[in-house]
């Protein structure tokens, strides 16, 4: 298989602490420049205490990394795979420096964020520019894959399995990370609301494939000032409203997340489950893609697709649903930084 002109794949993720003493430094990295009081960080840090001071995200990234390498080898795709994080070790800067030290001059980046938004796309592109600007490595980013069947089908399978474990008539709640309403408004460009449109398209596609008529979209992991509007309803408020409306069981499908990291295991498996138990609601949570074979295969498909485009070849872009394939290169006004105009890759 031909990955030219790319010489490596860089798996790009958020990162997370792997020891209790790492929790506060990690949270300080995540919130740098946002003026978050230390007592608020300490409150969030207590979420990590429930899991021994360790986020699952790095372990899950290692599992995905191993699966991608095995898949590439099995399909004779000679492309080394590296890994770097925005907020914790291994940091992007160190990973890009390793690329340079290994003689890699061009790499393609797979970001573990499937949707359009400043925090889910442009911020990573800013980070990648900063990490590579003085190094002889050219970085490109794979397109958004929210509607690639390698992302959607694992959710279809997981939702079917969860519905089979739930009482008949369970309401399906699709959940994603909340973002400021203004960030959603500017995602994909001014007024486009790409973040919300993309999630609704995925939810509708999954619901259609599993035959769920009774479904809704909710949000989790809100942070920041209560005076700033964020996307709603919050999952806990939504569960309360569903209960008041007569629901007795819900299937929660975390379509905003590629794996079971902290927003899933705390916000959904811990906090939302406690809300459901208090209300007397049966809650069954569907699995995320993680290292699902179709998700791993999707990474290879996207790499080969983009490599062919770079070589000037015609490609068939694999998607499901109404929105079509996302762009390879972002427009100047796509998902703008709300605070400053910073240089980016791609």
CB 117 within 8 A of CB 16: no
Which of the residue ranges 26-30, 96-100, 131-135, 208-212 would you say has the lowest mean pLDDT? 26-30
Mean pLDDT, range 250-254, rounded to an integer: 98
Of 17-31, 74-88, 214-228, highest mean pLDDT: 74-88
* Residues 115, 112, 47: CA angle, nearest 5 degrees: 100
CB 84 within 8 A of CB 95: yes
- Express each pLDDT in 302-344 by its tens digit: 999 999 999 999 999 999 999 999 999 998 889 999 888 899 9
Is a pLDDT exceeding 90 seen at residue 32?
A: no
The model's pTM: 0.96
CB 337 within 8 A of CB 118: yes
Domain 149-285 has CATH 3.10.20.70: no
The predicted structure's pLDDT at residue 333: 86
The predicted structure's pLDDT at residue 335: 95
Q: Is it true that 8-145+291-310 and 149-285 share their CATH fold?
A: yes
CB 235 within 8 A of CB 291: no
Mean pLDDT, range 193-222, rounded to an integer: 97
The predicted structure's pLDDT at residue 318: 97
Which residue, chain included where needed, has tokens 């996302």? 326
CB 86 within 8 A of CB 92: yes
CA distance 291 to 122: 25
Is a pLDDT exceeding 90 seen at residue 31?
A: no
Mean pLDDT, range 257-261, rounded to an integer: 97
The predicted structure's pLDDT at residue 225: 78
Tally the residues of the chain.
Answer: 346
The sign of the dihedral angle between the CA atoms of 65, 83, 150, 249 is: positive
Average pLDDT over the chain, rounded to an integer: 96
What residues pair up with 217 in beta bridges, in sequence order? Answer: 174
Choices 3.40.50.1400, 3.40.640.10, 3.40.350.10, 3.10.105.10: CATH for 8-145+291-310: 3.40.50.1400
Is a pLDDT exceeding 90 seen at residue 73?
A: yes
Which of the residue ranges 36-40, 88-92, 159-163, 323-327 would you say has the lowest mean pLDDT? 36-40
The predicted structure's pLDDT at residue 34: 72
**Structural domain boundaries of the chain?**
8-145+291-310, 149-285
* Residues 125, 316, 328: CA angle, nearest 5 degrees: 15
CA distance 182 to 230: 8
Which token pair is 225?
């000032």
CA distance 236 to 224: 18
The H helix count followed by the E strand count for the chain is 12, 8
Q: By percentage, how much of the chain surpasses pLDDT 90?
A: 89
Provide the terminal-to-terminal Cα distance of the chain, rounded to the nearest Å: 24
């Amino acid at each position: 298989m031909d990955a030219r002109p790319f010489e490596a794949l860089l798996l790009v993720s958020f990162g997370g602490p792997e020891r209790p003493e790492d929790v506060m430094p990690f949270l300080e990295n995540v919130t740098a420049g946002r003026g978050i009081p230390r007592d608020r960080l300490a409150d969030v840090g207590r979420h990590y205490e429930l899991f021994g001071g360790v986020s699952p995200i790095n372990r899950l990234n290692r599992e995905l990394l191993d699966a991608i390498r095995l898949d590439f080898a099995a399909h004779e795709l000679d492309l080394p795979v590296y890994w770097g994080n925005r907020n914790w070790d291994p940091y992007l800067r160190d990973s890009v420096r390793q690329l340079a030290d290994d003689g890699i001059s061009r790499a393609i980046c797979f970001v573990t964020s499937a949707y359009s938004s400043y925090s889910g796309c442009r911020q990573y592109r800013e980070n990648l520019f900063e990490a590579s600007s003085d190094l002889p490595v050219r970085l490109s980013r794979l397109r958004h894959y929210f509607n690639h069947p390698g992302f959607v089908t694992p959710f279809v399978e997981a939702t079917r399995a969860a519905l089979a474990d739930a009482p008949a008539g369970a309401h399906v709640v699709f959940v994603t990370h909340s973002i400021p309403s203004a960030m959603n408004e500017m995602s994909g460009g001014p007024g486009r609301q790409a973040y919300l449109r993309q999630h609704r398209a995925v939810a509708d596609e999954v619901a259609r494939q599993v035959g769920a008529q009774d479904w809704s979209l909710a949000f989790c992991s809100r942070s920041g000032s209560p005076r700033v509007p964020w996307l709603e309803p919050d999952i806990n408020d939504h569960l309360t409203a569903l209960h008041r409306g007569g629901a007795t069981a819900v299937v929660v499908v975390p379509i905003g997340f590629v794996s079971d990291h902290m927003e899933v295991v705390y916000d959904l498996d811990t906090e939302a489950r406690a809300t459901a138990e208090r209300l007397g609601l049966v809650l069954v949570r569907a699995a995320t893609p993680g290292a699902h074979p179709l998700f791993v295969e999707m990474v290879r498909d996207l790499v080969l697709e983009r490599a062919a485009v770079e070589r000037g070849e015609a490609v068939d872009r694999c998607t499901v649903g109404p929105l079509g394939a996302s762009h390879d290169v972002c427009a100047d006004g796509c998902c703008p930084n709300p605070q400053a105009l910073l240089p980016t890759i791609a």
